[in-house]
């Protein structure tokens, strides 16, 4: 069963509707880590070690278009993944 989570950033340092690239990359990384850890618990593998492939696929995050406050851009899932990959390197 897929769950949808809507995230709102309140009282951020950036203007309303904006987020710094470094903050976005850090936020995405932290959220992915959190969902992976939560997903590992039901199959009793909460400790250290490599997560099983099917659990990585089940816990994978994706982005969806949201409200556009200041005329920003929406990224497709592929574009978002490419963006994150570039931000990590």
Beta carbons of 46 and 40 less than 8 angstroms apart: yes
Compute the distance between CA of residue 78 and CA of residue 69 in angstroms, rounded to an integer: 23
| Alpha-helix runs per DSSP H in the chain | 21-40, 53-58, 77-88
Cα torsion angle, 70, 19, 6, 51, sign: positive
- Asked if the model's pLDDT at residue 77 lies above 50, the reply is yes
Q: What is the pLDDT of residue 71?
A: 46
Tens digits of per-residue pLDDT, 22-74? 888 888 888 888 877 777 766 666 566 666 676 676 677 776 666 655 444 45
For the ranges 2-16, 48-62, 68-82, the lowest mean pLDDT is seen at 68-82
Q: What is the pLDDT of residue 50?
A: 66
Break the chain into its structural domains and give their ranges: 17-44+53-59+74-89
């Amino acid at each position: 069963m897929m769950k949808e989570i809507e995230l709102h950033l309140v009282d951020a340092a950036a203007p309303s509707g904006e987020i710094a690239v470094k903050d976005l990359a850090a936020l995405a990384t932290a959220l992915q880590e959190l969902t992976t850890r939560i997903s590992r618990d039901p199959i009793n593998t909460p400790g250290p070690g490599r997560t099983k492939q099917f659990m990585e696929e089940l816990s994978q995050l994706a982005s969806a278009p949201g409200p556009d406050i200041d005329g920003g851009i929406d990224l497709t899932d592929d574009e978002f993944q490419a963006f994150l990959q570039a931000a990590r390197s």
